[in-house]
Structure 1
């Protein structure tokens, strides 16, 4: 499995708008076991995204899906940048 934990930074005052865009994706992403979006309580502009995939290749392929491309295009103008990024090797847990 492949895991990814990353921090995204919204433009000042745009975090809730960016969260709404990220949470609106209800379409399937083949190979995705978990896609969690969360507010960073230590930063008024910070967002954490935690993902678990069956493989690195499935994650890469998801970025080419039309609905994911549309979400990226909608979010891009209000993304100020990115923070930490961690790759992991999930082993299991609740929900697997």
Structure 2
């Protein structure tokens, strides 16, 4: 099994995008000590004022699933839920290489 990547879109309730960005950046900070997480990028687009895009690369799918059970992740999920209007998984990917990928 190879690396596992996700490209997701979170849609914040009106006026809550920056709050959601802060929560997701806190999640990104908590990934710093997880060797199984190679990339966790939080992005916004000026064309979609309520959307936040997250690109993640993990050692494998089980590492990603395990991360969701961590206490820190559960706390952040509970903080984010009230301000999320919707979510969309844009793609599940199999990275092949590039800068930032351990390969």
- TM-score normalised according to structure 1 size: 0.93
Partner of 2:48: helix, strand, or coil?
Answer: coil
RMSD of aligned alpha carbons: 1.2
Which of 22, 33, 39 is equivalent to 2:38? 33
Looking at structure 1, the residues matched to 77 and 22 of structure 2 have their Cα atoms a distance apart, in angstroms, of 13
Residues 7 and 82, structure 1, Cα contact 8 Å, conserved in 2: yes
Which of 15, 19, 22 is equivalent to 1:20? 22
- TM-score normalised according to structure 2 size: 0.87
Looking at structure 2, the residues matched to 72 and 35 of structure 1 have their Cα atoms a distance apart, in angstroms, of 15
Looking at structure 1, the residues matched to 72 and 96 of structure 2 have their Cα atoms a distance apart, in angstroms, of 29
Partner of 1:90: helix, strand, or coil?
Answer: coil
Looking at structure 2, the residues matched to 30 and 78 of structure 1 have their Cα atoms a distance apart, in angstroms, of 29
Residues 10 and 46, structure 1, Cα contact 8 Å, conserved in 2: yes
Looking at structure 2, the residues matched to 3 and 82 of structure 1 have their Cα atoms a distance apart, in angstroms, of 16
Partner of 1:57: helix, strand, or coil?
Answer: helix
Unmatched runs of 5 consecutive residues or more in structure 1: none
